[in-house]
Amino acid sequence: SAILVAVQFIAMGYLLFTGTWLASPRLIWLELIGIALIAWAIYAMQPNRVSVLPEVGRNAQLVTRGPYRWIRHPMYTAVLMMMLALM
């Protein structure tokens, strides 16, 4: 899983460093919604329990509040929204 996460970060870094950091004015709303969704997901999960790696922790609990009530993977959804706006 660490290799897949590294590939994901390399791909996002490539997009960010070879292009613009802000989406076009027509798509800036998509990027802002993605940023807000990431913040909401981290808040719902509690920041001290957030991990970059997708492995289940020893004392893990299923989060069913916040965006996790409607979206199974809100952080991945938010990253996809932001990268789509930049592309």
55-67 confidence digits (pLDDT tens): 887 888 889 999 9
Question: What percentage of the chain's residues is helix, strand, coil (to nearest 5)?
Answer: 65, 0, 35
Q: What is the pLDDT of residues 68-86, one digit of tens each?
A: 999 999 999 999 998 888 8
Contacts (Cβ under 8 Å, ≥6 apart) of 65: 44
Query: What is the C-alpha separation between 42 and 68, in angstroms, rounded?
Result: 10
* AA letter at 69: R
Query: What is the C-alpha separation between 83 and 87, in angstroms, rounded?
Result: 6
Q: What is the pLDDT of residues 17-37, one digit of tens each?
A: 887 778 888 889 999 999 999
Query: What is the C-alpha separation between 71 and 68, in angstroms, rounded?
Result: 5
The pTM assigned to this predicted structure is 0.80
